[in-house]
Chain A
Amino acid sequence: MRSFLACIALFAPAAAMAAPDVTIDSTAFVERTIQDTSGKAKIVLEAPKVVTPGDRVIFVLTYRNGGSQPATGFVINNPLPAAVSYEGSEGAQPIVSVDGGKSWGALAALKIAQPDGSTRPATSADVTHLRWTFAAIAPGQTGKLSFRGVVK
């Protein structure tokens, strides 16, 4: 696993004076079922060193407002990796897009156009993008978001 943080330093002058140091990070884990010493199955999270199709992967997003000002209109966008099929999120539920980020909404409200012109309800496998929106993140506040997928 490789994880890196990219904070882009090209701030506009007006923003630069008061720019809070908002950071975000993404890590991934593989969910494995193993047998403990008593023979019971238990689920453990491992670093994604050995990943093959069909494995369940959990992505954890960590954000932090390290600045001194509240950050408002806080929107986290996460396009889904093409080789991962979305399976749901824990905690704060994102709105999703099933059309490459053009339209957004709760999964249950989205439709997929069929070749014959009809539509069908969108399913989690159709999800292409995830978005979490927060009105404001106070200075020093941190949070974690996570979602699960399966390697196609």
Chain B
Amino acid sequence: MTSNVRLLASASLLAVAALGANPAFAAGTASGTTITNNVSVAYKVDSIDQTASAASNDFKVDRKIIFTVAEDGSATTAVSPGSTVSVTTFVITNTSNATLDFSLTPSQLGSGSAGAHSNTDGYDVGNLAVYADTNNNNVYDAADTQTFVDALGPDSSVRVFIVGDTALGTANGSVAAVRLAAAAREGANDDLLGAALSQDNGANQEDAVDTVFADAGRDNSENALDDYTVSAASLTVVKTSTVISDPVNSSNYKMIPGAVVEYCITVANASGAATATNISISDAIPGNTTFVGSSVYLDGDASCQNGSNTADAPVAGTLTMPLSDIAGNATLSARFRVTVD
């Protein structure tokens, strides 16, 4: 299956743009093309036209292997502890003058190595795997099952995904650096990885198509780094109680039967942490107290003020209070009242 993203720059536009500079054609003339120069001469003898003489010579364009591997985008992949099949994306661009397959080799960097974003590798992902964007939709999905790139045409690019799992409990800010290495192979649109290429260094046969490695280092091997960074929520929960009123005193209320007590639960997410979602506070109503109906306030502030009043009530003695998402360095609170029996 071919998956091509056509580069916008056409060869002819590039040729115009490259005037006066070093020639910068993209993939250029297809491998195996014969370039023939024809020349003819017309002339006269004693003012009489003579039949023209002509000559030509030709040579074949050889196969120039040149391609790049690059990280797609410029950001680390944020992962949560316990997340599976997290994706880092790379782009392989084939600027060779031939259709090629590419073998893909994912690897993890050793502990302490620098990742793609100046971070330091601190853990390895599990179930490391690599897949080509077989259905060419730029995102990793179930259809992307090929572990190599099949038949990438000249001046085309394809996305490649490295996927891996992050263990539960991995510390916030930990980095797993990964590398994608790619090598060009014989290209055929056959859903199979083609044979390895070798450069023709020796004497060349006339009219044969030779293979020339023109990638960086001229070694038919390119690679790029990317990384995963754990971005976990880091919640701190604090519960406080305040006596609001008692049946006897007008100030300095005491915890006597009939007193109203307000419990406040604050949930703080640490600075730099990932946004916490689906937060739910469960609180058992203390013994010897009675829940005050319609006393629940959700999404209050850090001072246990404001928020929205709800009619939530305890179920089997336990009050469940959902909170909205809490971003890093933010705090929400929930509060409710009881009376002392």
Q: Once bound together, how far apart are the Cα atoms of A71 and B52, in whole Å?
A: 12
Q: Once bound together, how far apart are the Cα atoms of A146 and B19, in whole Å?
A: 20
The one of A6, A57, A125 in contact with B54, judged by C-beta atoms closer than 8 angstroms, is A6
> Which residues of A sit under 8 angstroms from B45, Cβ to Cβ?
15, 18-20, 67, 69-72
> Which residues of A sit under 8 angstroms from B40, Cβ to Cβ?
24, 76-78
- Binary interface profile of B, 292-311, with partner A (CB < 8 Å = 1, else 0)? 00000000000000000000
Chain A nearest CB from B46 CB (Å) reads 6
Q: Which of A49-65 contact B (CB under 8 A)?
A: 49-54, 56-57, 59, 61, 63
Q: Once bound together, how far apart are the Cα atoms of A67 and B64, in whole Å?
A: 45
The one of A4, A19, A75, A137 in contact with B55, judged by C-beta atoms closer than 8 angstroms, is A4
> Which residues of A sit under 8 angstroms from B204, Cβ to Cβ?
49-50
Once the chains bind, are B42 and A54 in contact (CB under 8 Å)? no
Once the chains bind, are B54 and A28 in contact (CB under 8 Å)? no
> Which residues of A sit under 8 angstroms from B216, Cβ to Cβ?
none
Q: Which of B316-330 contact A (CB under 8 A)?
A: none
The one of A12, A53, A72 in contact with B28, judged by C-beta atoms closer than 8 angstroms, is A53
Chain B nearest CB from A150 CB (Å) reads 4
> Which residues of A sit under 8 angstroms from B28, Cβ to Cβ?
52-54, 151-152
The one of A20, A69, A75, A123 in contact with B42, judged by C-beta atoms closer than 8 angstroms, is A75
Chain B nearest CB from A81 CB (Å) reads 5
Q: Once bound together, how far apart are the Cα atoms of A75 and B40, in whole Å?
A: 8
Once the chains bind, are A77 and B35 in contact (CB under 8 Å)? no
Q: Which of B19-54 contact A (CB under 8 A)?
A: 19, 23-25, 27-29, 33, 35-54
With contacts A53-B61, A67-B45, A73-B43 taken as known, whether A12 is within 8 angstroms of B37 at the C-beta atoms is no
Q: Once bound together, how far apart are the Cα atoms of A152 and B282, in whole Å?
A: 71
With contacts A1-B59, A53-B27, A151-B61 taken as known, whether A85 is within 8 angstroms of B15 at the C-beta atoms is yes
Once the chains bind, are B23 and A52 in contact (CB under 8 Å)? no
> Which residues of A sit under 8 angstroms from B27, Cβ to Cβ?
53
Q: Specify the main secondary structure of chain A where it touches its partner.
A: strand
Q: Once bound together, how far apart are the Cα atoms of A87 and B144, in whole Å?
A: 45
Interface size class of A (residues with CB under 8 A): 35 or more
Among B27, B48, B57, chain A packs the most CB atoms within 10 A around the CB of: B57
Among A50, A56, A150, chain B packs the most CB atoms within 10 A around the CB of: A50
Once the chains bind, are A7 and B16 in contact (CB under 8 Å)? no
With contacts A52-B64, A77-B39, A151-B29 taken as known, whether A22 is within 8 angstroms of B53 at the C-beta atoms is yes
> Which residues of B sit under 8 angstroms from A1, Cβ to Cβ?
57-59, 206
Interface size class of B (residues with CB under 8 A): 35 or more
**Residue B152 interfacial (CB < 8 Å):** no
Q: Once bound together, how far apart are the Cα atoms of A103 and B224, in whole Å?
A: 51
Q: From B38, which residue of chain A is reached at the shortest CB distance?
A: A79
Once the chains bind, are B55 and A18 in contact (CB under 8 Å)? no
**Residue B246 interfacial (CB < 8 Å):** no
Chain A nearest CB from B221 CB (Å) reads 18
Q: Once bound together, how far apart are the Cα atoms of A151 and B11, in whole Å?
A: 12
> Which residues of B sit under 8 angstroms from A14, Cβ to Cβ?
48
The one of B35, B51, B53, B214 in contact with A83, judged by C-beta atoms closer than 8 angstroms, is B35
**Residue A27 interfacial (CB < 8 Å):** yes
> Which residues of A sit under 8 angstroms from B207, Cβ to Cβ?
2
Q: Which of B85-115 contact A (CB under 8 A)?
A: 97
Q: Once bound together, how far apart are the Cα atoms of A54 and B56, in whole Å?
A: 22
Once the chains bind, are B63 and A52 in contact (CB under 8 Å)? yes
Chain B nearest CB from A75 CB (Å) reads 5
> Which residues of B sit under 8 angstroms from A20, Cβ to Cβ?
45, 50
Q: Once bound together, how far apart are the Cα atoms of A1 and B55, in whole Å?
A: 14
Q: From B46, which residue of chain A is reached at the shortest CB distance?
A: A18
The one of B19, B55, B62 in contact with A26, judged by C-beta atoms closer than 8 angstroms, is B55
Q: Once bound together, how far apart are the Cα atoms of A94 and B27, in whole Å?
A: 30
> Which residues of A sit under 8 angstroms from B11, Cβ to Cβ?
152
Once the chains bind, are B48 and A15 in contact (CB under 8 Å)? yes
**Residue B124 interfacial (CB < 8 Å):** no
**Residue A25 interfacial (CB < 8 Å):** yes
Chain B nearest CB from A127 CB (Å) reads 11
6 A-B contacts, Cβ less than 8 Å apart? A8-B54, A12-B51, A18-B48, A52-B97, A75-B41, A137-B43
Ranked nearest first, the 6 interchain pairs of A and B with the lowest CB-CB distance are: A53-B28, A52-B64, A48-B59, A71-B43, A49-B204, A83-B29
